[in-house]
Amino acid sequence: MYTDKTLVCKDCGKEFIFTAGEQEFYAEKGFTNEPQRCKQCRDAKKNASRNREMFTAICASCGKEAVVPFKPRDDRPVYCSECFAKQKGE
């Protein structure tokens, strides 16, 4: 039913094969779009988002040190994960 397709990566411009097995997997999962990146570029994109710079701050509620994925600003409070969850639940 499925046959291998040659696609072009939108990041590096190289051709890659979208195999029949991959197409079947996509169909089973209900994915309607074909991949736009080759495996190397997909992996690079995943790793880039995982290696975010983290910042330390003092929780505005309990005073404990908190590690957050954004640079804290003086005009906005920063909460540790426990206090953030409490605030979100209220």
User: Sign of dihedral through CA atoms 72, 77, 82, 86?
Assistant: negative
44 and 62 housed in the same domain: no
pLDDT digits (tens, 9 = 90+) for 57-84: 999 999 999 988 899 998 999 999 899 9
**Are residues 43 and 17 located together in one domain of the fold?**
yes
Are residues 63 and 38 located together in one domain of the fold?
no
Question: Exposure of 22 by Cβ count < 10 A (0-12 exposed, 13-18 middle, 19+ buried)?
Answer: middle
Pair 60, 44 in one domain: no
Distance CA 77, CA 62 (A): 12
Domain check: are 13 and 45 in the same one? yes
Same domain, residue pair 10 and 46 = yes
Q: What is the mean pLDDT of residues 10-14?
A: 96
Residue 2 · residue 24 · CB < 8 Å: yes
Domain that holds residue 22: 5-50
**Do 12 and 46 lie in a common domain?**
yes
For the chain, count helices (H), then strands (E).
3, 4
Number of domains in the chain: 2
Give residue-wise pLDDT tens across range 16-55: 999 999 999 999 999 999 999 999 999 888 887 777 788 9
